[in-house]
Amino acid sequence: MKEKKDRKIRSSIVRDALSTFGTTAFGAVMGFISSLVITGVLDPASKGYITQLQYVGTLLVTFLSLSVSSAVIYYTSRYGLKNVKKALTKICAGIVVLIVVIGLASVFVLRDSYFADTPLLYSVLAVVYGVFSFLSTVYTCILRGENKFSAYNIITLIQRVLTTVFAFSVFFWKTPLVIILSSILIMVAMIGMCISVLRRGPEQAVSEEDDVLVGAGTMVKYSLKSHISNMLTYVNTYAANFIVKGYYKVAALGVYSFASTLMEQVWLLPNAVSMVIMSRIAGMKVQEDKVKLTLMSCKIVTYITFVCAFLLTWMAQIFVPVVFPKYIEAIPALRILIIGSIFITYAKVLANSIAAYGKPELNIISTVIGVAFNIVLSFVLIPGMGINGAAVSTSVSLTAQGLTSIIIFCKFTRTPFYRLLIPSKEEISIVQKIIKR
C-alpha cells in the first residue's frame, strides 16, 4: 500500500516538475526573444533603465515583504487556504503600504545619488512594479501551496507570451517606458487570473489535525525566519550589480546584467524542482521520505545543470558576438559566473527543502557566508577589474553558499556527504522506471 502511495507521489512530483520546467524553459525562450528584440533596438543605457527598475522593485519586495511567500507555501500546503486567508489578507495589506511608503521615500532621498541619471517617472514606476510584483508572487505561491501547478504553469506561460508580444513595441516606440508599463499591466492580469482559478477550483483537502485557523503572528514568525536568509540571498546575487552601478555608468550595468541573465538560465531546472518539492515535503509526515525526495531531486538537478552550464557558455561564445555585438564584453564575465551557477544549484534545492522541514532559519548561515565573500570581493575587485571583478565576486560567493548549504543539510538530516553526489541503486531504478514511462 505504501509502495503504491510512494509511486503516486513520485509520479505527481515528476509530472509537476517536468511541467514547471517546461513552462520555465519556454519562458526562457520567450525571454530570449524579448531580450533579442529589446537589446537589438534599445541602447545599453535604455536597457539599463529597465534593469534598474526591475532590480529596485525586486529589492523593495525582497527586503519589505518579510518573505511571506515562504509562509504562504508552507501553511497553505499544510493547513489549506481557508485556514490562512484571513491572516494573509492582513499581512499583505500592511506590506503593500510599507513598500509604497518606503519605496517613494527612497526615490526622493536618493534622487541626487543612485537615481541621479534616471528619470523621476522611471524611479516612481519601480515602486509600482514592486507592489504588483509582491502581490502576483503571493497569489502564485497560493497556487503552488495548493499544488495547482497546472493553473500556475498556464498563468506563467500567458505572462511570458504577453511579455514577448509587448517587447516588439520597441520597433514602434524606441523607449523603455512601454516595456516598463506593459510589465506592470501583465502582473495585474496575472493576479486577476489567479483569483479566478482560486474561486472556481475545489478547496484543498487537509487532515483533521491540521484543520485549524492559522494566525497572522504565526505566519509572520515563520516568514521572519526565512526573511533574513532571503534578503541575504538577494544581496549575494545582486550586490555586484549595485556596486557596478555605483562605480560606473548605467551602460556598464546593462552589459553586466546581460551576462548575469545568461548565467541565470541554467537555474531553470533547479528553480522548477525546488518549487514543486517544497510544497510536497511540507505535507509529508515521515522524515525518511523527505530526505529521500530531497537527495534524488538534488542529484538529478545538479547533473543536468552541470552539462547545461557548459553548453550555455559554449553557445554564448559563438552567438553573442554575432547577435549582440554591443554586449561582447559580457562573455568573459559569463565564463566566470557560470562556475558559481553550478554550485548554487545545491543551495536552491536544499534551502527550499530545509524550509519545508519547518527550519528556514538554518539557511541564514549559508547566505551570511556567501554575502561576506561577495561584499568584500566586490569592493576589492570591481574598481580595478570592472564587470569581470563583479563576476569573480559573485561566482565565489555563490560557490561558498552552495557548499555551506550541503554541510548544513548533511548535519541537520544526518546524511553522509557522498549521498548528495553518488546515486543509489534505488534512485537509479526509480529514474529508469520514470524514463520508461
pLDDT tens for each residue of 289-308: 777 778 878 888 888 888 88
Nearest to 56 by CA among 103, 96, 108: 103
pLDDT tens for each residue of 248-276: 666 677 778 788 888 888 887 787 777 77
352 or 337, greater pLDDT: 337
Say yes or no to pLDDT of 6 above 60.
Answer: no
Determine the pLDDT at residue 131. Answer: 95
Which residues touch 431 (CB under 8 Å, ≥6 apart)?
296, 300, 423
Determine the pLDDT at residue 1. Answer: 45
DSSP state of 65: S
Largest CA distance in the chain: 67
pLDDT tens for each residue of 305-324: 888 888 989 998 898 888 88
- Residue 372: alpha-carbon gap to chain centroid: 21
Which residues touch 86 (CB under 8 Å, ≥6 apart)?
213, 216
pTM for this entry: 0.69
Beta carbons of 229 and 359 less than 8 angstroms apart: no
DSSP assignments along 305-349, one per residue:
HHHHHHHHHHHHHHHHHHH-GGGTTHHHHHHHHHHHHHHHHHHHH
- Residue 87: alpha-carbon gap to chain centroid: 25
- Give the other-Cβ count within 10 Å of 41's Cβ: 15
Mean per-residue pLDDT over the chain, rounded: 82
| Structural domain that includes position 185 | 2-436
Percent of the chain clearing pLDDT 70 (strictly above):
87
Determine the Cα–Cα distance for residues 112 and 66; give it in Å rounded to an integer.
29
Question: Is residue 361 exposed (0-12), middle (13-18) or buried (19+ Cβ within 10 Å)?
Answer: middle
Say yes or no to pLDDT of 9 above 50.
Answer: no
Which residues touch 150 (CB under 8 Å, ≥6 apart)?
19
Burial 77-112 (b: 16+ CB within 10 A, else e): bbbbbebbeebbeebbeebbebbbeebeebbeeeee
Nearest to 279 by CA among 206, 224, 343, 216: 206
Does residue 256 come out as left (phi exceeding 0), alpha (psi in the -120 to 50 range) or beta? Answer: alpha
Total domains in the chain come to: 1
Is 304 strand, coil or helix? helix
